Amino acid sequence: MAVVQRKAAAPNGAGMARLRVLLPLPLAGAYDYRVPQGMPVPPVGSFVAVPLGNRGSIGVVWDGEADPGLPERKLKDIEGVFEVPPMTESLRRFVEWVAAYTLSPPGAVLRMAMSAPAALEPPAAKAGWRLSAAGQRARRGEGARLTESRRRVLDVMEPGEVYAPAALAAEAGVSPGVVRGMADAGLLESALLPPGERFPVPDLQRPGPELGPEQAEAAAALREAAAVRHFGVTLLTGVTGSGKTEVYLEAVAECLRQGRQALVLLPEIALSTQWLERFERRFGVPPALWHSELGSRRRRDTWRAVAEDKVPVLVGARSALFLPFPDLGLIVVDEEHETAFKQEEGVVYNARDMAVVRARLAGASCVLVSATPSLETLTNAETGRYAALHLPVRHGGAALPEVAIIDQRRTPPERGRFLSPPLVQAVRDTLAEGQQAMLFLNRRGYAPLTLCRACGHRMRCPNCTAWLVEHRVQRRLQCHHCGHAEPIPETCPECGAEASLTPLGPGVERVQDEAADLFPEARMLVMASDTIPGPAAAAEAARAIAAREVDLIIGTQIVAKGWHFPHLTLVGVVDADLGLAGGDLRAAERTVQLLHQVAGRAGRAEAPGRVLLQSWNPEHPVMQALVSDDLEGFMAAEAEQRRPGHWPPFGRLAALIVSAEDEREADRAARDLGLAAPQGEGMEVLGPAPAPLALLRGRHRRRLLLKTRRDVAVQPILREWLGRVAVPASVKVQVDVDPVGF
Ligand code: ADP
Ligand code: ZN
């Protein structure tokens, strides 16, 4: 283990220093440990190795006094201190804050801030290549003539420097085999790379793009906010394509000039290749990355480099908030309205809201960015808690797309079809003009429901309250909640009828089938999580679309986010009503946001864009808001609906999800919690009722909702409530403060 100090020979224990150590485990709080004789007392925040039970653990020296009353024999010694900069005070306060807000044990939150324990070890030196004496002579042009690719490798190498093999091949633009061959020929010799390489440093001298007048004004305000070096939140809004990214990159530049670190949170980092390219154009280097698909080696190296102040700017998913930045100066949350920022498992938190807290504790500037901000954020801007900046026009003068509704009642699709005649005609016209079109349907697979025509049986998931979704490509029925999958049966499992199972309703695969039939010449690309699983596929899709190798894009919600497709002029929404069903408080708000984002993909360059919404409900305020492009009016009306009943953001909400494998146990625990519900001025408990997914992964779920006025703090009420009710160990009660889907 990489410890600097080890305990000295067996001390007798009397009068030794005691410390509190928080362990990254779901325990109540910090444990007391003793500093053995001969070990300097590690400062607060130090990462330490400690015994726990009969194994070891790693923890962080926490603030506060150890309990002097604890008998000496109950205390164990700290075993060593890691050679990593101590966790900063602002991150320690953040861990505590998140724990208190979400009612999670601090250790469970600390775990998110520690990544892999191996990150605490100094990185092992890795093997690399260096020019040998023969290589240096060859580089000077002495000796035998070289092949062109070998020449290129020698050209990028400086004598004495050590190069990572893959990076060397990439930089020289040759295959790794060329490099190996040069080593075999004695031109290169192996050497160890210096550990802890710095992440690339952005070039701040590089000029950004010339900003339009509104952009320049907004960028100046954000630079100013970053330069004052204290906390503040700014909402940056603007129509799709108005160039918000270029504007906040100026704030990033200012933060780096201040010598502080910048963090940008994106909702779908693995698919954000276009964003990364743009960052690289601006700063000459790629940013450091943090997301769940990062390999464990990369994860460790990145965590450690952040702790050692070697990462000036990082782009990440929500968990990047817990990285140990020494002096965080700026947090940008792009697409702040996205539900992807909500973590629903383990510690349940919304990274958009926690970013504001992290910024406050770090004395940093926070920028929330969206073309369609959440009502929460809009309300904070209106009351003046957040500053607000707005970009009213598209960059380069492109017009916003024209939005129209296709009334499904008047021009319905043919039986068994999903594209109505006017939409088919519009796609045809667009393709004939040599432009690109997109069909949007927020549903993966072929059909959302499979039904027996003989007996009416519906294929459902054995573990969840959910229908199985047919995926024709894999020839399977899948549950989108638990991952259960089974082959499509030949006969109905209920009545045994043969060939009676029929798909009902469309998914993107079915729309693709229909489109292939209607537009046989069109080159199609389906963009859904199964066809675009990661960065490589996303980059390839973006390339093919930009190169006009695709005529028709058919996609789920992954096409809504951030893409810039300059040749796309028509967007057809196959089922605009899809998100409106169900009792979710934010169903209308979310549908407007999603459809507006999708619409914003059209007409981003010279040719104007057009958006067609297929709807059975054209009078719905959501449809009207999209047609008249009056999101502001829509959000104002939405606010007036929520205000009187104290619904968020005008009141507070917390959910208790009670779950158990045994349905009666879940019911009993939920009923007990309901009977013990808190009562008082300005609060109300709704339920128990079946949770939105009443069965999930084999667990029966019930829900209680605590709704309070805005000035009531829900955490103490929840704590007291949960403390009064004992539930069996087989029952799980999950607390979700500020739930998003209900
Ligand atoms: P938004 O995020 O507001 O939808 P983007 O930041 O994606 O808009 O900008 C839309 C397109 O315009 C992008 O391709 C971007 O590179 C380009 N762009 C924005 N501002 C400028 C500028 N000042 N100069 C050149 N190109 C710009
Ligand atoms: Zn399931």
**How far apart are the C-alpha atoms of 688 and 725, rounded to whole Å?**
14
The reply to whether 570 and 694 lie within a common domain is no
Give the structural domain span for 164: 127-192
CB neighbours of 639 closer than 8 A, spacing ≥ 6? 375, 378, 379, 650
Ligand that lies nearest to the alpha carbon of residue 601, given by its number in the listed order? 1
**How far apart are the C-alpha atoms of 251 and 248, rounded to whole Å?**
5
- Domain-embedded: residue 393: no
Q: Kindly report the protein residue whose alpha carbon is nearest to atom 19 of ligand 1.
A: 243
Ligand 2 centre from 583 Cα, in Å?
21
Ligand 2 centre from 695 Cα, in Å?
8
Ligand 2 centre from 463 Cα, in Å?
5
Question: pLDDT (tens digit, 9 = 90+) per residue, 550-563?
Answer: 999 999 999 987 78
* Atom in ligand 1 nearest the alpha carbon of residue 215: 23
- Domain-embedded: residue 199: no
The reply to whether 159 and 42 lie within a common domain is no
Q: Kindly report the protein residue whose alpha carbon is nearest to atom 15 of ligand 1.
A: 243
CB neighbours of 66 closer than 8 A, spacing ≥ 6? 18, 19, 20, 32, 33
pLDDT at 389 over 90: yes
Ligand that lies nearest to the alpha carbon of residue 546, given by its number in the listed order? 1
Question: What percent of the chain is predicted at pLDDT more than 90?
Answer: 72
Q: Are 289 and 269 in contact (CB under 8 A)?
A: yes
Ligand 2 centre from 449 Cα, in Å?
14
Write the CATH number for 38: 3.40.1440.60
Number of structural domains found in the chain = 5
**How far apart are the C-alpha atoms of 326 and 261, rounded to whole Å?**
8
The reply to whether 653 and 718 lie within a common domain is yes
Write the CATH number for 696: 3.30.70.600
The reply to whether 286 and 342 lie within a common domain is yes
* Atom in ligand 1 nearest the alpha carbon of residue 369: 2
Q: Residues with Cβ within 6 A of ligand 1?
A: 209-212, 215, 238, 240-246, 278, 395, 564
- Domain-embedded: residue 274: yes
- 366 annotated to a ligand binding site: no
The reply to whether 522 and 659 lie within a common domain is no
Q: Kindly report the protein residue whose alpha carbon is nearest to atom 17 of ligand 1.
A: 243
**How far apart are the C-alpha atoms of 686 and 653, rounded to whole Å?**
10
**Can you give the pLDDT at residue 194?**
62
Instruction: Cite the beta strand spans of 208-341 per DSSP E.
Output: 232-238, 261-265, 288-290, 313-316, 328-334
**How far apart are the C-alpha atoms of 648 and 136, rounded to whole Å?**
68
- Domain-embedded: residue 625: yes
Ligand 2 centre from 481 Cα, in Å?
5
The reply to whether 631 and 651 lie within a common domain is no
Ligand 1 centre from 221 Cα, in Å?
18
Q: Are 538 and 393 in contact (CB under 8 A)?
A: no
- Domain-embedded: residue 100: no
Q: Kindly report the protein residue whose alpha carbon is nearest to atom 24 of ligand 1.
A: 209
- 492 annotated to a ligand binding site: yes
Ligand that lies nearest to the alpha carbon of residue 485, given by its number in the listed order? 2
**How far apart are the C-alpha atoms of 622 and 630, rounded to whole Å?**
10
37 vs 170, more confident: 37
- Domain-embedded: residue 159: yes
Q: Are 438 and 568 in contact (CB under 8 A)?
A: yes
- Domain-embedded: residue 475: no
Ligand 1 centre from 231 Cα, in Å?
27
Tell how strand 55-62 and strand 18-22 pair up.
Answer: antiparallel
Ligand 1 centre from 565 Cα, in Å?
12
Ramachandran sector of residue 458 (left: φ over 0; alpha: ψ -120 to 50; beta: rest)? beta
Total number of residues shown for the chain? 742
- 255 annotated to a ligand binding site: no
Which residues are in the CB-under-5-Å shell of ion ligand 2? 461, 463-464, 479, 481-482, 484
User: Of 584, 607, 640, at which residue does a domain stop?
Assistant: 640
Q: Is the dihedral of CA 229, 231, 235, 240 positive or negative?
A: positive
**Can you give the pLDDT at residue 581?**
84
The reply to whether 421 and 509 lie within a common domain is yes
At CA 325, angle to CA 322 and CA 326, rounded to 5?
A: 140
Q: Kindly report the protein residue whose alpha carbon is nearest to atom 23 of ligand 1.
A: 211
- Domain-embedded: residue 725: yes
ipTM exceeding 0.85, yes/no? yes
**Diameter over CA atoms, the chain:** 90
**How far apart are the C-alpha atoms of 737 and 102, rounded to whole Å?**
6
Question: pLDDT (tens digit, 9 = 90+) per residue, 461-482?
Answer: 999 999 999 999 889 999 999 9
User: Of 363, 387, 411, at which residue does a domain stop?
Assistant: 387
Q: Kindly report the protein residue whose alpha carbon is nearest to atom 20 of ligand 1.
A: 243
| pLDDT (average), residues 139-148 | 84
Tell how strand 365-370 and strand 328-334 pair up.
Answer: parallel
Ligand 1 centre from 276 Cα, in Å?
13
Long-range CB pairs of 91-96, under 8 A, 24+ apart, other chains included: 91/322, 91/324, 91/325, 92/44, 92/45, 92/60, 92/62, 92/63, 93/361, 94/321, 94/322, 94/354, 94/357, 94/358, 94/361, 94/362, 95/22, 95/322
User: Of 640, 657, 687, at which residue does a domain stop?
Assistant: 640
Q: Which of 52-66, 484-498, 638-652 has the lowest mean pLDDT?
A: 52-66
pLDDT band at 9; cut points 50, 70, 90: very low
Which of the listed residues 245, 248, 275, 563 should we mutate to test ligand 1's pocket, taking the one with most ligand atoms within 8 A of CB? 245
* Atom in ligand 1 nearest the alpha carbon of residue 564: 14
pLDDT at 14 over 60: no
Question: pLDDT (tens digit, 9 = 90+) per residue, 688-739?
Answer: 999 989 999 999 999 999 999 999 999 999 999 999 999 999 999 999 999 9
The reply to whether 258 and 378 lie within a common domain is yes
pLDDT at 645 over 80: yes
Residue for token digits 């040599």?
Answer: 434
Q: Are 329 and 229 in contact (CB under 8 A)?
A: yes
Q: Kindly report the protein residue whose alpha carbon is nearest to atom 5 of ligand 1.
A: 243
Ligand 2 centre from 479 Cα, in Å?
5
Ligand 1 centre from 639 Cα, in Å?
31
The reply to whether 516 and 367 lie within a common domain is no
The reply to whether 547 and 609 lie within a common domain is yes
pLDDT band at 125; cut points 50, 70, 90: low
**Can you give the pLDDT at residue 190?**
85
**Can you give the pLDDT at residue 122?**
61
**CB atoms < 10 A from the CB of 428, how many?**
14
CB neighbours of 9 closer than 8 A, spacing ≥ 6? 38
**How far apart are the C-alpha atoms of 640 and 263, rounded to whole Å?**
35
DSSP of 94-161, one letter per residue? HHHHHHHHHT--HHHHHHHHH--GGGGSPPPPPEEEEE-HHHHHHHTT-SS---HHHHHHHHHPPTT-
Q: Kindly report the protein residue whose alpha carbon is nearest to atom 14 of ligand 1.
A: 564
The reply to whether 379 and 414 lie within a common domain is no
Write the CATH number for 263: 3.40.50.300
- 452 annotated to a ligand binding site: yes
- DSSP tag of 490: S
Residue for token digits 């490099």?
Answer: 179
Q: Kindly report the protein residue whose alpha carbon is nearest to atom 10 of ligand 1.
A: 241
Which of the listed residues 210, 395, 563, 604 should we mutate to test ligand 1's pocket, taking the one with most ligand atoms within 8 A of CB? 395
Question: pLDDT (tens digit, 9 = 90+) per residue, 234-253?
Answer: 999 998 889 999 999 999 99
**Can you give the pLDDT at residue 550?**
97
* Atom in ligand 1 nearest the alpha carbon of residue 566: 14
Ligand that lies nearest to the alpha carbon of residue 477, given by its number in the listed order? 2
The reply to whether 267 and 325 lie within a common domain is yes
**Can you give the pLDDT at residue 197?**
56
